[in-house]
Amino acid sequence: MAETYYAAINWNEIEDIIDKSTWEKLTEQFWLDTRIPLSNDLDDWRGLSELEKQTVGHVFGGLTLLDTVQSESGMEQLRKDVRTPHEEAVLNNIQFMESVHAKSYSSIFSTLNTKAEIEEIFEWTNTNPYLQKKAERINEIYKNGSALEKKVASVFLETFLFYSGFYTPLYYLGNNKLANVAEIIKLIIRDESVHGTYIGYKFQLGFNELTEEEQQKLRDWMYDLLYELYENEERYTEELYDALGWTEEVKTFLRYNANKALMNLGQDPLFPDTANDVNPIVMNGISTGTSNHDFFSQVGNGYLLGTVEAMQDEDYFIGMDE
């Protein structure tokens, strides 16, 4: 018998049942941007002002950047610290879906925007100081942080930093506009909700192994980081939304989601804001069922992936105990 050079993954011997349940949840909710009939939103799109169109473009440019960071750097770095081989398989699934997310904004652009507009969006995205700062701050932690710090960065990115952008499509959805664009965003939010919960759970396993002193040190670091990111996010929000007059309500939404990120990490909230403080139109957008209930069946080549369940409030506030 040779010594084991490389161990085969055995799904019949599960060390952490959360790996298995997360794998099942993520594969059940698999989706692709190409199945959403985005061109049905063109009438709504033509009814928006130039300022609104430009804001939507920049918002999705910013989201593209964050999903690019997650798909290229984030999951790659988190994979170095897995506790089980099944966790690595889950992260592989997450990494692929991050690429789907990043690509789906390009599907939106190619449907709604001209070539010149798309070039402007990417130029803005790749040079906006606040956007670049958040990408840099998170990515530096991915490259140089400890296993636990990297998980904090990932949860802050996915449960907090995306929401300055998610606000816009949810707002339009709450106003019965751009329903198919919003469908994509809701599928992304549903994925992110599982990612944030899962990575937050893995964080808590490691965190609970620390001494009380180490925990306090990490907690201080975490809250400092959150506050630093929040300040940058305020500037980003002002730049995006001042002209539309949405800045203050977006900031409320950010603080609410920052608290949710802390909750995923098993920590106490930082801000007083709750769901009741968020613009009800946006909360309404979040809780609306998916509009293309059986969009997978539109493919018509027998490639039936199963129907996508209507998104419920619980999907947004997903727990691992369901």
Catalytic, 303? Answer: no
33 alpha carbon, distance to own chain's centre:
15
Q: Choose the catalytic residue: 6, 105, 130, 142.
A: 105
If the CB atoms of residues 194 and 240 are measured against Mn ion, the closer one turns out to be 194
293 is in an annotated binding site: no
Of 181, 180, 156, nearest to 59 by C-alpha is: 181
158 binds Mn ion (CB under 5 A): yes
Please indicate if the annotation marks 158 as binding a ligand: yes
DSSP structure string for 251-311: HHHHHHHHHHHHHHTT---SSS--GGGS-HHHHHHHHSPPSSTTGGGGG-SS----PPPPP
Q: What is the DSSP letter of 22?
A: H
| Rounded-to-integer distance, Cα 296 and Cα 280, Å | 30
Q: Which of 87, 98, 273, 315 binds Mn ion (CB under 5 A)?
A: 98
Q: Does 183 bind Mn ion (CB under 5 A)?
A: no
Which region, judged by CB under 5 A, interacts with Mn ion, from 21-29, 45-53, 67-75, 265-273?
Answer: 67-75
| Binding status of residue 233 toward Mn ion by CB under 5 A | no
- Backbone φ, ψ for residue 130 (5° rounding): -75, -40
DSSP letters for 230-247:
HHHHHHHHHHHHGGGT-H
Number of residues this chain uses to bind Mn ion (CB under 5 A): 6
Query: Among residues 186, 195, 202, 251, which is the contact residue for Mn ion, using CB under 5 A?
Result: 195
**67 touches Mn ion by CB under 5 A:** yes
Binding flag, residue 249, Mn ion (CB under 5 A): no
Query: What is the distance in angstroms between the CA of the first residue and the CA of the last residue of the chain?
Result: 43
* Residue closer to Mn ion (CB basis): 91 or 254: 91
> Which residues does the annotation place in the binding site for Fe cation?
67, 98, 101, 158, 192, 195
Residue numbers of the site for Mn ion (CB under 5 A)? 67, 98, 101, 158, 192, 195
Positions marked catalytic: 105
